[in-house]
Structure 1
Amino acid sequence: MRVEIVETERISTYIGVRACAYFSDLGAAVGRAFDELISRSDEIKNIRNTNVTYGITPPNYKGNNGVVDFYSCYEVDPIESLPHGMVHLHLLPRVYAMTHYKGPASQTGNAYDFTTQWLKDNGYEYDDVAYYLERYDEKTVVGSDDDRSEMQIWTPVKKR
C-alpha cells in the first residue's frame, strides 16, 4: 500500500443511490445500491467515466453503532437532471490522503488502519467534517474476495 496527499481543485458532483443500514448489515445494502446504480446508469446524464464508480460515506462511521449512510455513485459533469429516487452530492475542493489498496475486499479495513498510522507518522489527522470516497475502476474485482482487486481510498485530512 502507499499513501499520497492530493488536493482537489474543483467541486465534484456525484449522482447515485443511497444505502442506509446498521454498520454490521451495510454490506448487503451497499451491494443492492450498486446493483441499482449500474442497472439504471442509462438514466444518469453526463457520467464522466462509466468504468468508474464511487462509494461515498459521510464522516459518521467512527464508533457509530447506529444507522449509517453509503452512497453508490457515478461522477457527473455537469449535473443536468436527477433520476427519480437517486441522490446528488457536491464535494468541495479539499485535501485528501489517497491510499492505493490492492487486496481482497474483506481486508479493506487494513487499508484504513494503514492510512491512520501513515497520517500519524507524517503530521496529518483526519478531517472528520468531510465525506470519504472509495474509487472503483476496471482494476476492482467485484463479487469476489480477489487478492488482485485494486481501489483507491480518499480520506479527508488536515495538518496537525
Structure 2
Amino acid sequence: MDCKKVNKVFRVVGIKGSGNFCELGKEVPKLAQQFIARKDEIKNHCNTEIALFEPKRDAGHKTGHYYVGLIVNETLREVPFGMEYIEKAQDYVSTRGNINNLDSLHNHLLKWAEGQGYKRDLESYIIETYHPMVNGEEVEIYLPIYN
C-alpha cells in the first residue's frame, strides 16, 4: 500500500446524513444510492463519487454527520434542492486500494502517518473517493493533517 502526503482541493455537491459511527457502513451506501439517483440534476460533475465524514474524536463520540456526493469541476453557485456545495482545501495523507479492505487501508494509513510524524486534524472531514474498476471498486482515503 502506497501512502503519501498531498495538498488537495475537493469541490463537492452532496447530501448530508448523520448516524451512529458503528452504523455508517450500512447508512452511507443507502444515502449514496438515493443521491446517485439524482446525479443528473448536478451540473459540471466529473462522475467521481465522494463521501466526507466527521472524524470520531474519542470513545464517547457516538454519532457524527457525513456527506455523500459527487466531485464537481468548478465552484457552483446554485445546487439542486436538498443538496449542498462544499469546498475543502487541505493537506492530507492518502492511500488507495480495494474497497473490501477499507478498514485495513484506514489502519495502515493511520500507522504510516503517525510514523511520519504527521498530526491528524480532527476538526476536518475524512474524505473517501470511490473508483469503479474492472474487478470491483477502489477507494482512495484522505485523512486531514496539520501543516
Superposed displacement of residue 56, structure 1: 0.7
Equivalenced residue count is: 146
Task: Check conservation: 1:45, 1:80, Cα contact below 8 A.
Answer: no
Return the offset for 1:66.
Answer: 2.4
Q: What is the 5 A alignment of 1:1-160?
A: 1-8=1-8, 10=9, 12-47=10-45, 49-50=46-47, 52-60=48-56, 62-76=58-72, 77-91=74-88, 93-102=89-98, 104=100, 107-139=101-133, 149-158=137-146
Distance 1:7 1:114, change over 3 A: same
Q: Secondary structure at the match of 1:117?
A: helix
In structure 2, runs of 5+ residues without a counterpart are none
TM-score w.r.t. the length of structure 2 is: 0.86
- TM-score, normalised to structure 1, is 0.80
Conserved in 1, the CA contact under 8 Å of 2:57 and 2:122?
no
Q: CA RMSD in A?
A: 2.1
1:63, distance to aligned residue in structure 2 (A): 3.0
* Deviation for aligned residue 1:4: 0.7
- Tell whether the 8 Å contact from 1:135 to 1:152 is kept in structure 2 after alignment: yes
Query: Percent same amino acid at aligned positions?
Result: 22
Greater strand proportion = 2
Which consecutive unaligned segments of at least 5 residues does structure 1 have?
142-147
- CA drift at 1:151: 1.3
